Amino acid sequence: MTSVKLTCTSCGQINRVAGERLEQRPKCGICGEPLDDGKVRELDAKSHDKAIRSDDLPLLVDYWAPWCGPCRMMAPEFAKAAQALAPDVRCVKLNTQDHPDVASRAKIMGIPALVLYDRGREVARLAGARPAAQIADFVRQNLAGRM
């Protein structure tokens, strides 16, 4: 595999990582935070847009809000799915209460909402709280041949 670009969810730096190193849990060259360790990371508006636009790995975004019961119930399942999908897919979250402009641009009509992006374009969406297995299956089905 060739190198891949990954946006650091902490500092926003775009990092180039050798594909074979993804299994070794690479860290950002600027801030040292993990780039793809199978843990769900919270995005702000800037890192959301940059990662969608720039990353070479597929990105699964959970659009959620802290007041949403189903969102909170799904959070541990989303974390399990992130572990199962790493290092081939990065799973991240965006708080729609804190970033309503991003949710509006992403055409989020209800939460929780999962949107799968690959190389700058939306591939698929899934509405409602789901168990980890369904989340992982949704990603694998929509990235068939890529994973």
pLDDT digit string, tens, across residues 110-123: 999 999 999 999 99
**Dihedrals phi, psi of 38, to nearest 5 degrees:** 80, 5
Please enumerate in sequence order all residues whose Cβ is within 8 A of that of 121, keeping only pairs 6 or more positions apart, or say none: none
pLDDT at 77: 98
Query: Residue 1 pLDDT > 70, yes or no?
Result: no
pLDDT band at 36 (very low <50, low <70, confident <90, very high): confident
- Determine, yes or no, domain membership for 70: yes
Which residues constitute the domain of residue 117? 38-142
CB 116 within 8 A of CB 59: yes
Q: Cα separations (Å) of 40 from 19, 82, 86, 145?
A: 20, 6, 10, 24
Identify whether 110 is part of a domain: yes
Mean pLDDT along residues 72-90: 96
pLDDT for 128 beyond 60: yes
Residue 8 maps to a domain: no
The domain tally of the chain equals 1
Say if 130 falls within a structural domain. Answer: yes
C-alpha–C-alpha distance, residues 85 and 112, integer Å: 19
**Annotated catalytic residue 31:** no
Asked if pLDDT for residue 147 goes beyond 80, the answer is no
Options 8, 28, 71, 91, the catalytic residue: 71
pLDDT tier at 22, thresholds 50, 70, 90? confident
> Is 18 domain-assigned?
no
CATH number of the domain within which 120 lies: 3.40.30.10
Q: Is 68 a catalytic residue?
A: yes
Q: Which of 8, 11, 31, 68 is catalytic?
A: 68
Question: Using only C-alpha atoms, what is the Rg of the chain?
Answer: 14
Is residue 62 domain-resident?
Answer: yes
pLDDT at 11 exceeding the cut of 60 = yes
